[in-house]
Amino acid sequence: MAEDQAMEKISSEDEDDKNRKKKKEDYLSDPEFFSCVLQPSPADSDPEYIGIRRLLLHRKAQSGVVLRKDWRCNGKGYVGYRNYINRSRNWESMHVPSHSSTPGQSGRWISSPAPFSLSFEVDSLTSSRELRSGNQALSHRLSFSTNASDSDRPYIKRAEPAYSFVGMHCIFDQCKAMVTVVKFGHMSSDILAYGASDGTLTVCNVSEPPSIIKQLIGHSKDVTDFDFTSSNQYIASSSMDKTVRIWEISKGLCIRVMYGVTSQLCIRFHPVNNNFLSVGNANKEITVFNFSTGRVICKTVFDNEVTAMDHDHTGQLIFCGDAQGSVYSVSMDSRTGSLSRTHTHRSGNKHKSPVSTMQYRTFSLLARGPVLLAFTRDGNLSFFSVALEVQGYLTIRCSLQLSSRLHSIRASFCPLLSLEKGEYIVVGSEDANVYFYDLTRPRHPCVNKLQGHGYPVIGVAWNHGENFLASSDFGGTVIVWKRAKTG
């Protein structure tokens, strides 16, 4: 019996030796290993030092790949791995295990909040009593302004139901270029599309299991903007390649191309008559196209490049921003498509900056009526009340000065959250975070931030029910965040 056990032990040791030898042979025969070690070095450098350094760097990179594979096999994503390697030395004593959760079908789900969670629930020291008194004060004065950096946030206290998130729902990271714009379908909770700087346009489904429906390829340069028809059957996209393209989503085909003489920067369908398609371009124009024929119906010239635009809910007004930070109200005839400028709000800043976001909302508790959000590249976030009876006259109610942006980063209203409490805006940032600001809090406007991106966050968008928030970054990743249920 003892002899049999000894023989089994010897055979297992021999097998282990064979496996180790084979692994060593495979490693030594790796072409990447030799290309790393045998690369030519500068004439004035020590060849032995250069070779050893390259060898160590190669082994370090290879070990990192193995660790990332192990984490992905355990159902966790690259963000979890990054947080793991950046953990503090006493993380084991500080760690509190989170509640067990079931990963999604995609294998890219992030668990609910823990001390090292990806979504930090933040609240200021302002009590609800102070908040109510602040709202009363706002009703007596017309506007206020405040300065805040992106990282400026109040103390962490408790999770407010209005803006708490349970984590990531899914991640789309097949794109290798900057995702410039991301949007959900019209009145849709699960159709998501995003355009990238390589000219691609991707349509996804975020319901279980998340999947890519179609990839629309045709633009040769950056996709600057796109818009869904009311039925979500078609997408119209604008690009730096001077074209506007119409796509049929179900077939994944481009059914029409409208050529221009300059970059097409922003695009919107008419909310009532989808046969009208308005496009702002770098030639200081808004052009109205006939969607069915592709012919030009009307053109209106502005003072500078038209960089952002949005319709009101009736389709009788277009609000657009230009490259110098000015905001225009434009009247539109819903029968003929003709345009006429009505009002202009000039930027008061010395350094003029392009408008990256122009978003209209039908009602706000703060303004007691329709409102408009304008966000410029220099970080100026302006909140206007809109007088529809005076052809879209704009009155600034409040403003928030954030840090300047190198990229054309976008912002968005949080309509349903704002009806619960406060006046919320969600904004991307250069520091790879997604920030939430409450405009009714001039002292501590930042109420929450979401961490998970590895690059500057460029675009943000809510779905129809506001249970999902999509954010895109410079590295080509799109994260869909799941908001906590508020009952």
pLDDT per residue as tens digits for the range 148-182: 666 554 434 444 556 678 889 999 999 989 999 99
pLDDT tens-place string over residues 428-485: 999 999 999 988 887 888 888 999 999 999 999 999 888 899 999 999 999 999 988 7
Query: pLDDT at position 99, please?
Result: 34
**H or E segment to which residue 134 belongs:** helix 128-140
Query: What residue type is assigned to position 379 of the chain?
Result: G
Element (H, E) at 442: none
- CA distance to 71, 180, 245, per residue, from 150 (Å): 31, 20, 36
| 333-353 pLDDT per residue, tens | 988 999 999 999 988 777 789
Residues 6+ apart with CB under 8 A from 363: 369, 370, 371
141-150, 225-234, 306-315, 376-385: which has the minimum mean pLDDT?
Answer: 141-150
User: What's the confidence (pLDDT) of residue 305?
Assistant: 95
pLDDT above 70 coverage of the chain, percent: 67
Q: Which range in 39-53, 71-85, 232-246 is most confidently predicted, on average pLDDT?
A: 232-246
Mean pLDDT over all residues of the chain? 78
Residues 49-53 have a mean pLDDT of 61
Q: Phi then psi for 88, rounded to 5 degrees?
A: -75, 165
Tell me the average pLDDT across 250-273: 94
What's the token pair of residue 129? 């009593």
**pTM for this one?**
0.70
The pLDDT assigned to 350 comes to 75
List the structure tokens of 375: 């966000």
Checking if the pLDDT of 26 tops 80, the result is no
Please compute the mean of the pLDDT values over residues 200-225 and round it to a whole number: 94
Q: Is residue 31 predicted with pLDDT exceeding 60?
A: no
**pLDDT, position 447:** 86
3-class state of residue 285 by DSSP: strand
Please state, in angstroms and rounded to a whole number, the distance separating the CA atoms of residues 169 and 470.
10
Average pLDDT over residues 386-395: 90
Q: Which residue has the higher pLDDT, 257 or 420?
A: 257
Whole-angstrom distance between the N-terminal and C-terminal Cα of the chain?
67
Q: What's the pLDDT score for residue 3?
A: 60
Q: What are phi and psi of 10, to 5 degrees?
A: -65, -40
For residue 389, give the 3-state DSSP assignment: helix
Place of tokens 């953990």: 87
pLDDT surpassing 60 at residue 109 = no
Look up residue 344 and give its DSSP letter.
E
Element at 455 (helix H, strand E) = none
Residues 6+ apart with CB under 8 A from 340: 300, 330, 331
Q: What is the pLDDT of residue 96?
A: 40
- Cβ atoms of residues 202 and 216 within 8 Å: yes
- Selected residue with higher pLDDT from 19 and 427: 427
The alpha carbon of 389 is separated from its chain's Cα centroid by a whole number of angstroms, namely 34
* pLDDT 10s digits, 68-83: 444 444 444 555 555 5
For residue range 124-153, list pLDDT tens digits in order. Answer: 323 333 333 433 433 333 445 556 666 554
Quote the pLDDT of residue 410. Answer: 94
Rounded mean pLDDT of 48-52?
60
240 touches 222 (CB < 8 A): yes
